[in-house]
Structure 1
């Protein structure tokens, strides 16, 4: 522990005069200082009264433990519901196209083109050549 250091007041201070009953009876503006402290105390009392009023309003509207636990249960239920919806949507997005493909009738076969070669050209008779 830290040691406590005691310092004595020097002789001739006002504290010594008061302890010995001296001081000559002067209050050095004590009434003005007390009046100032009383004014501060009055404004402080008004401010504390305002704080107490606001605190009373806050306490009336403040959530209780039951309210908080009710909200926690609601959030938990909502979270579970969202998870179920997301998982269901993912599964459906993967499964539905396969089901549609499995039950879709095969498209009709495209008509086949038959290529027919043009008939061979008949040899052209050459006219006799004149000599």
Structure 2
């Protein structure tokens, strides 16, 4: 459940949800295998998005002919996630925030610029309650 921080004396007009997500193609596989670099990206992305970082977790998957890393930043306002498939030079990025103060587009663009894909697609969804 995502919570929107309230300023004392303000009245809630519902949840303001902003979801920016996309696919990145042609990313250097060595970057997509660098767990600590990816963790640092989501930490900085949270700062850029103007959200409050709660915790960062990451997982490295190795098995058979598939490998990848998933990094998830839990933020008070929701989450930031990166999932990678190095053998395909492919990653997905997901930035979902709640609150007027958050800037998920800036966080998404920061991550894209750092990963330097050959191309990418970005989607936006309004996840607001009103």
Q: TM-score, normalised by structure 2?
A: 0.15
Higher relative contact order (CA 8 A, sep 6+): 2
Q: Of Structure 1 and Structure 2, which has the larger fraction of its residues in helix?
A: 1
Q: Of Structure 1 and Structure 2, which has the larger fraction of its residues in strand?
A: 2
Which one has the largest radius of gyration? 1
